Every structure is written in C-alpha cells, then in structure tokens.
Structure 1
C-alpha cells in the first residue's frame, strides 16, 4: 500500500517515481497525471512538462501518452471525470468502467478510451480492452502496437484473443519482436 499522501504536485516523471516508490497511491497518480489536462504546467520542470520527456517512453507509457495528448486536446476545467473512470477501472467492474466512461463529454471520450485501452493492455485486462477496442475511435500509437505484439496466447490467452479478433489487429497485423529473428527457428538464429 502507498504511504501517506503528499500535497506536492508531481509532473510526469516525478509522478511515475512517486507511484513506483509508494509515496502516492493509484488515485493520486491519476490525479497528478490527468491534472495536466487542465493546463497545469510545472514551472520548475517546464522543459519536461511541456516538451517531450523521453524517459516516459521507457518507464510510464500512460504518462507518455498523456504528455502527447495534452498538446492536441482542448484543456478541461476539471479532470475529475477522467480520474473517476480510472478509479472504476481499479476498484470496480467492467460495468462500473463503462458507466463512468459513458458520462464523459463527447469531445474527450476518445482520449480517455485510448488511455483506458493502453492501461488495460499493460495490465492484460481483457474485458476492458475488449470494450475499448470495440468502441474504437482512437489512434493506435507505436507503443500500443508494440505492447500488443508482446501478448502471447500461452501467457495471456484472453487478452490475446481480444486482440486477434479486433479491428486493431486487422489494421496492425501481429509482428514478432525483433529478437525472435535471432532465436532458434528465426531467420538469423544465434547459438546462445
């Protein structure tokens, strides 16, 4: 469990570290993350707050996605509805997630659905991923496609099945990760 809440406002990477280190919990993580949708700028970290913090691509794919979205979407007055969708994701059922999703303002729903699909893919949560892919109307970023290609039928059969039966897979056929070419049976096998 997370330690006591902090009153500090965290920017993207600091938010990731605070969550990883147990300084903040899931709800606080999403609050700090989605607060950027209101136009929040951390003056003490302005370059990584308003630019492209490349550390996120390797550490926190959700924050990386939010950072890109902030530049393309109209700011919201209150990010609480986004937070409530993710609260339902972590504590409720699929029906709770759908209920929170469906009350969002239409001009923001595709963004939250893309974030929700990404989180569900990372967590291998097939029910939410199926819902998001079924509703569609969001972009599939490179990181999403790459992560989807890492899902295997042996380790996560439900998530694998959702991906393989989706329109996403029609648009982005499965490709093996680069290292497969060097494994036994690959195009360039290496005797490790």
Structure 2
C-alpha cells in the first residue's frame, strides 16, 4: 500500500465533511472515497482502522472503508467511479451494465457499496437489485439503516427490504424509541 498526502485527495472523514459543507460535489466525494479501493491510504488512524464512528456520520464512507480492506486492490479507479456515475445520473439498467462490466471478484463488493448507498438514498430499484443478487456481508451499519426505513415514509424501499432474502435472515427490529414507546413490545408508561 502506498501513502499519499491528504492535500492530494481526502480521507473518509474529510471527504464527508467537505461534502456536508458543500465544498465538494457528489462526484468529488465519490472520487475521494473510491480512491481507497485502489489500495492507497493516508497516514492517519481513521484511514485503515475500523472507524466505527464513521459509521454514525457517514455509513457509506464506512462501507467503502471496510471494503477497501477486503477487496483485491485495483489500480483502475475509473471503473469504480463509472458505476457510481451511473448510480448518480443513470437508470437501473445503466447501473446493472456497469456492475456487470466488473470482474467477478469485485461484483459482491460493488453490490455491497451500491446497497448501502441506495439504502441511504432510498433508491428501491437499485437496492432490490443488490439484495436479490446478495453475496455480500450485511454489517451492523447496514442493518441499522435498514431498520430505520418505514413503510409510511418510504414504502418502495420498505417493500424492497421486506421482500428480500436479507430480511428473511435479519428480521426487522424496532429502534429503541419504538420498542419502548406506547404500543411497542416493551412499552413504558412515561
């Protein structure tokens, strides 16, 4: 692995912050995060460690961080960027075409990243595609985000989750505020 200065490209937390502050575009945000998939790292503790704090602030960035430690590194950053460009600006068919252009050793990792991104953005069509093919790990960040999706607020995403093999293995659990609220399974008389 090589290390580069953060002045050339941003690490996970910095990319999230710059995007949040609207100082970089979505395209730049993806560039900074996906560059980690090529095996390049920064000289900071948040780059290569399991930064669970990142899961709270930027679950997608956290997934990229985890995948960057698991994937066989490729020097072809453009391939990773194309699938997320299709995600941002194209249709489901465009995303599938980019997904299918990957070497098989990368597809489960790309689906994992697309699943988290589409879950965060409530893009039911892409989420359904990823969950149907599956083959990737559902970590705590994904499960937590999936449990935040409600039928009333995002019916298509809720349906995609409920009909998926993921939900058969990981039944919906209520967040603590619903578990203990009036009508929840452990209602507390406040």
Q: TM-score, normalised on structure 1? A: 0.91
Partner Cα separation in structure 2 for residue 144 and residue 190 of structure 1: 31
Unaligned runs of 5+ in 1: 1-6
4+ runs deviating over 6 angstroms: none
The answer to whether the Cα contact below 8 Å between 1:113 and 1:132 also exists between their aligned partners in 2 is yes
Match of 1:138 in 2: 136
| Superposition CA RMSD, Å | 1.3
Q: CA deviation at 1:55?
A: 2.9
| Aligned 1:18-37 pairs, distance under 5 A | 18-37=18-37
Structure 2: gaps spanning 5 or more residues: 1-6
Cα pair 1:15 1:29 within 8 Å, conserved: yes
Question: Post-superposition shift, 1:126?
Answer: 0.5
The whole-number CA distance in structure 2 between the counterparts of 1:166 and 1:19 is 31
CA deviation string 1:31-78 (max 9, x = no partner): 1101111111223xx221122333311111111111112222211111
Q: Give the equivalent residue in structure 1 for 2:73.
A: 75
- 2:109 alignment counterpart: 111
Partner of 1:189: 188
Q: Report the CA distance between 1:84 and its aligned residue.
A: 0.7
Moved more, 46-55 or 152-161: 46-55
| Partner in structure 2 of residue 41 of structure 1 | 41
Length-normalised TM-score, structure 2: 0.91
CA contact (8 A) 1:13 1:55 kept: no
Q: Name the count of aligned residue pairs.
A: 183
Matched, 1:84 2:82: yes
SS of equivalent to 1:80: helix
